[in-house]
Amino acid sequence: AQKITQTQPGMFVQEKEAVTLDCTYDTSDQSYGLFWYKQPSSGEMIFLIYQGSYDEQNATEGRYSLNFQKARKSANLVISASQLGDSAMYFCAMRLYNFNKFYFGSGTKLNVKP
Amino acid sequence: NAGVTQTPKFQVLKTGQSMTLQCAQDMNHNSMYWYRQDPGMGLRLIYYSASEGTTDKGEVPNGYNVSRLNKREFSLRLESAAPSQTSVYFCASSERQGGSNQPQHFGDGTRLSIL
């Protein structure tokens, strides 16, 4: 069975500092994709970044990067230079390549302090 | 803008009433999904449709039915609403499986309250 674990229900970070949101996953499949989504207080789900299980380099998208450690089955999201607008819920998700289902973690609520 | 459109955005029902949540996507995606999100929690999959003409149960299907009307539209029906179904409902779509790195695209959600 597939499972995503986000162990940090809530986090605080000072504006302009970097923050790491943890995500570990459990699967016996070798082919999968990992995704991070942002959900601001307005409620919409915003796709941030993707990492494939065979990607040799960590994914980066602007201020977002993914610290992918395959052997440890972790896919942590790093946000550099935090902004007030980064305050939101963040969800980690996994998709197996040969299946249509996505598996979501329980989320981490990030608060950026001015 | 292209994307996933959900209607209605808000709805209040009485226990026992029925209603259908509508979802349409214009990205030509094969797969569509319905999730519910309870306060402070993650997403739980209700039903999904890998392609037109197919539907499968997710994690929490009881009390719901779905219809994949065509490639664009995937509706969720509550036959006899219960207070436990008070939640925010999200529809999503994605490309089909097969090495795809495509994420899910989400609608803005339907906030449903059942009294």
- First-residue to last-residue Cα distance in chain A: 41
Query: Chain-wide mean pLDDT for chain A?
Result: 94
Model pLDDT for residues A43-91, shown as the tens digit of each residue: 999 999 999 999 889 999 999 999 999 999 999 999 999 999 999 999 9
Write out pLDDT tens, residues A63-72.
999 999 999 9
**Rounded average pLDDT over B16-29:** 95
pLDDT of residue B97: 59
Say whether residue B23 is in contact with chain A using an 8 A CB cutoff. no
What is the separation of C-alpha A98 from the centre of its chain, rounded to a whole number of angstroms?
21
Give the span between the Cα atoms of A72 and B42, in whole angstroms.
Answer: 23
Q: What is the pLDDT of residues B30-84, one digit of tens each?
A: 999 999 999 878 899 999 998 888 999 998 999 999 999 899 999 999 999 999 9
From chain A, the residues in CB contact with B33 under 8 A are: 102
Rounded to a whole number of angstroms, the distance from the CA of B17 to the nearest CA of chain A is: 26
Contact state of A101 with B45 under an 8 Å Cβ cutoff: yes
